[in-house]
């Protein structure tokens, strides 16, 4: 019997375990070790638990450990941390975090799905009670309890998580201040698009301070203030939302090759540089089809796909993961915020000669009651007119429209190709000239 050990029990790890077991059946023994107390959870839904929209941590779980063990014959070991990998002899050492006991488990195949860690600031006081990052369900529980006891919340960072959590804290009736070093929120959007989001966030009573260097967190056991170059900010609770870094410690120790991004490098089959060792999820870089090279964009959709590909290959198939185009959507207060591909700044950094166009159009026909403006921005390569990226922001119709442009990027379309797409029309859903087509028409004219 072959043995597969999976390190990590969230999206990529469980997708790999399920695919391999489905293909191999009783001829493969699969064991999953998860350091936290929860598996198969939707991290993107954690702000909705913190805000109270979801009433219990269990509401974040997709499939329970009991379902995995009963329906898929895959044992799940929660609160079990893999502390050592012996690649040559083929075993892992596991620490039971509840009783402190250690155990050793042999493997023929290894799936590393250790995910990512929330970035810290590296300043004094980060260990104070009330200073948190958000990754795991335990983090979400701790943040919710921390926020309930106070009124003043400070968020360090202005990306997706920071802005989504600002909404969650406002829903809880908190006074929210966002501290940002750069002058722009959402750095993976172009400035004029980010400004739309910033205006929305400010309109909800959130204070945004830019140009801020955070020097320390201070308090008597629990955080009471954030000390910065622009003065002190009172804080009963702090969320550090500076993005994520790949958790590659175990992989690095056994000599797994890391990519230029600092995440684990894999091929199209999700194989690492070591034989019989696969990887996927937020600890891994993915091939970016627009850039033509690997990128680190940790998202749940990518993790699930990469995990399944890894599991299918462990199970005997020859499956490839072609790559990503950098598609992401977010709900920030009353706005749908969406992007795919490259911003103009990102295109320039990649050495691409590109230009951007920006249009504003209705989400529905003017002959139908309702509808809101949508702002659309295209990034286009000058010489070839190849679509390089798109961004959309509006109160409705932006989040799902971006999928059309993600498909266009996946297919390598030009803006002329996009302009000629046969998109659906009905007054209740779109104007006769959809915002996508209007933007493509402007982009093809340069």
CATH of 328-444, one of 3.40.50.10420, 3.40.50.720, 3.50.50.60, 3.40.50.300: 3.50.50.60
Active-site annotation holder among 2, 37, 44, 360:
44
User: At which residue do the structure tokens 């929210």 appear?
Assistant: 176
What's the CA gap between 112 and 200, in Å, rounded? 40
What's the CA gap between 395 and 101, in Å, rounded? 53
Structure confidence at residue 221 (pLDDT): 94
To the nearest 10°, the Cα dihedral for 152, 169, 146, 246?
A: -120
The residue among 346, 337, 341 whose CA lies nearest residue 327 is: 341
Hey, is 292 helix, strand or coil? coil
State the pTM of this model.
0.96
Structure confidence at residue 148 (pLDDT): 78
The residue among 290, 272, 288 whose CA lies nearest residue 354 is: 290
Instruction: Return the exposure string of 392-402: e unless at least 16 CB atoms fall within 10 Å of the residue's CB, then b.
Output: bbbebbbbebb
State both tokens at 270: 């999700």
- Is 44 tagged catalytic? yes
Residues in the chain, total: 446
pLDDT in single tens digits along all 446 residues of the chain:
999 999 999 999 999 999 999 999 999 999 999 999 999 999 999 999 999 999 999 999 999 999 999 999 999 999 999 999 999 999 999 999 999 999 999 999 999 999 999 999 999 999 999 999 999 999 999 999 888 788 999 999 999 999 999 999 999 999 999 999 999 999 999 999 999 999 999 999 999 999 999 999 999 999 999 999 999 999 999 999 999 999 999 999 999 999 999 999 999 999 999 999 999 999 999 999 999 999 999 999 999 999 999 999 999 999 999 999 999 999 999 999 999 999 999 999 999 999 999 999 999 999 999 999 999 999 999 999 999 999 999 999 999 999 999 999 999 999 999 999 999 999 999 999 999 999 999 999 98
State both tokens at 325: 């185009």
Listed in sequence order, the DSSP H helices in 108-190 are: 137-148, 160-171
State both tokens at 348: 């320039």
* CATH 3.30.870.10 corresponds to the domain 120-240: no
State both tokens at 238: 């702090």
Sheet holding 225-228, edge to edge: 214-218, 225-228, 231-234
What's the CA gap between 51 and 67, in Å, rounded? 28
- The angle subtended at Cα 349 by Cα 348 and Cα 353, nearest 5°, is 25
CATH 3.50.50.60 in the chain, residue ranges: 2-39+60-116+245-314, 120-240, 328-444
What's the CA gap between 235 and 315, in Å, rounded? 51
The residue among 9, 240, 281 whose CA lies nearest residue 134 is: 240
What's the CA gap between 117 and 108, in Å, rounded? 28
CA distances from 290 to 83, 342, 377, 388 (A): 37, 8, 17, 7
| Domain spanning 2-39+60-116+245-314, CATH architecture | 3-Layer(bba) Sandwich (3.50)
């Amino acid at each position: 019997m072959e043995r597969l050990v999976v390190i990590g029990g969230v999206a990529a790890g469980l997708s790999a375990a399920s695919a391999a077991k489905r293909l191999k059946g009783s001829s493969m023994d699969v064991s999953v070790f998860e350091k936290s107390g929860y598996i198969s959870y939707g991290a993107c839904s954690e702000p909705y638990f913190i805000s109270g929209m979801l009433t219990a941590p269990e509401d974040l779980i997709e499939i329970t450990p009991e379902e995995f063990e009963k329906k898929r014959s895959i044992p799940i070991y929660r609160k079990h941390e893999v502390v050592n990998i012996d690649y040559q002899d083929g075993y892992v050492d596991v620490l039971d975090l509840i009783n402190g006991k250690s155990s050793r488990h042999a493997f023929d195949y290894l799936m590393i799905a250790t995910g990512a860690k929330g970035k810290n600031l590296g300043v004094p006081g980060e260990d104070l009670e009330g200073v948190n990052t958000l990754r795991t369900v335990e983090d979400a529980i701790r943040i919710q309890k921390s926020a309930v006891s106070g009124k003043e919340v400070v968020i360090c960072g202005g990306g997706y998580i920071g802005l989504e959590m600002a909404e969650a804290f406002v829903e809880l009736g908190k006074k929210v201040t966002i501290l940002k070093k750069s002058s722009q929120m959402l750095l993976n959007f172009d400035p004029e698009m980010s400004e739309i989001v910033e205006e929305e966030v400010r309109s909800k009573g959130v204070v945004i301070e830019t140009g801020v260097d955070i020097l320390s967190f201070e308090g008597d056991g629990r955080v009471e203030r954030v000390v910065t170059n622009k003065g002190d900010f009172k804080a009963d609770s702090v969320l550090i939302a500076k993005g994520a870094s790949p958790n590659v410690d175990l992989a690095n120790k056994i000599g797994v090759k890391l990519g230029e991004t600092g995440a684990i490098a894999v091929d199209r089959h999700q194989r690492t540089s070591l034989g019989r060792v696969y990887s996927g999820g937020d600890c891994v870089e993915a091939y970016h089809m627009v850039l033509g090279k690997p990128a680190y964009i940790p998202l749940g959709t990518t993790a699930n796909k990469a995990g399944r590909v890894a599991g299918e290959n462990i199970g005997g198939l020859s499956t490839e993961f072609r790559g990503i185009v950098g598609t992401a959507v977010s709900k920030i207060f009353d706005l749908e915020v969406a992007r795919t591909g490259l911003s103009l700044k990102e295109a320039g950094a990649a050495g691409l000669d590109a230009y951007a166009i920006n249009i504003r159009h209705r989400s529905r026909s003017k002959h139908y009651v309702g509808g809101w403006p949508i702002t659309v921005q295209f990034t286009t390569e000058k010489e070839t007119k190849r679509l390089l990226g798109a961004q959309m922001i509006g109160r409705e119709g932006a989040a799902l429209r971006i999928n059309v442009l993600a498909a266009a990027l996946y297919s390598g379309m030009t803006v002329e190709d996009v302009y000629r797409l046969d998109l659906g029309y009905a007054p209740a859903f779109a104007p006769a000239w959809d915002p996508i087509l209007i933007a493509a028409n402007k982009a093809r004219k340069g």
